[in-house]
Structure 1
Amino acid sequence: MKIPRSTSRSASRSASSRLLALLPATALAAGLLAGCSGEGTPDAGASATATASVDPTQQVAENLSEFSYAGEDGKTALELLEQHDPDAQVQGKGENAFVTAIRGRGADPETEFWGLYVDDEMAQVGAGSLETKDGQTITWKLEEIEQ
């Protein structure tokens, strides 16, 4: 069976028109997906570490895993934590204080805890007992409880 020329031309034009119409939509979709993938572009909320040189209030709470500040002669790590984060959550007082949340990021009591470090070494005493010194870096790290 032979198809009349007029029908095959319009069918071929119709298929070509549809393909040409799909090209811009495909290019737009590919561009949007590439822009959303984040590959090669830094994500402003990706940093999970707050340090003395970065304003910790700009950290995203659910991504926060570290929080640092400078030690000061005559002040405890707990006093300085409460000064740098007035909303820090602490159970107990003084020498018996146990930090449960920093910058709104709570430690899951079943699997995590906020560990206290002085100049990258884990503290041997609690935050309420640790007298800091000028020049020290006090860091809280969200740690996993080893099972």
Structure 2
Amino acid sequence: MKTAPRRTAPRLLALLPALALTTGFVAGCSEGGSSDGASPSVSASVEATGQVAENVGKFSYEGEDGKTALELLQEKDPGAQVQGEGEQAYVTAIRGREADPATEFWGLYVDDEMAQVGAGALETKDGQTITWKLEEIQQ
């Protein structure tokens, strides 16, 4: 009985460009060369991504006398998305991260305490820390 010839070589050759790209990407993610010639750690890249993802859900800035939390948010993040205006404004996205209206919202905090009014009505003061946190809606 005759068996079909194996076609391993073409498959292997097809994988070489992907392997080269992956190796180049991992090497490019390191923050400098290693003097011992060791390969960079992939886990360092994953940890950096985790840090970026963590920061997407929180955004802080300092309060300023005479300015609302909404005015300052729009200065610090011109791309922030808001529905409504003034005291009726509702923040839907910060730093490109849109809250899922079915499960999330951007909560407003002043010095680590949840604000009792909306961003358009909250007059800030010098020295206050204004923080927005992406939070889950409690059902």
1:118-137 correspondence runs (5 A): 118-137=110-129
Deviation by residue 1:4-53 (Cα, 9 ceiling, x = unmatched): xxxxxxxxxxxxxxxxxxxxxxxxxxx87x932x17x88333225xxxxx
> Larger C-alpha radius of gyration, 1 or 2?
1
Q: One-letter code of the match for 1:105?
A: R
1:1-147 correspondence runs (5 A): 35-36=41-42, 38=43, 43-48=47-52, 64-147=56-139
Q: One-letter code of the match for 1:35?
A: S
* CA distance in structure 1 between the aligned counterparts of 2:55 and 2:100, rounded to whole angstroms: 14
SS in 2 for 1:79: helix
* CA distance in structure 2 between the aligned counterparts of 1:145 and 1:126, rounded to whole angstroms: 17
Identical positions, percent: 71
SS in 2 for 1:81: helix
Q: One-letter code of the match for 2:61?
A: Y
Q: One-letter code of the match for 1:47?
A: Q
SS in 2 for 1:131: coil
SS in 1 for 2:60: strand
Deviation by residue 1:65-119 (Cα, 9 ceiling, x = unmatched): 1000000000000000000000100000000000000000000000000000000
* CA distance in structure 2 between the aligned counterparts of 1:121 and 1:90, rounded to whole angstroms: 22
Q: Which has the higher contact order (CA 8 A, sep 6+)?
A: 2
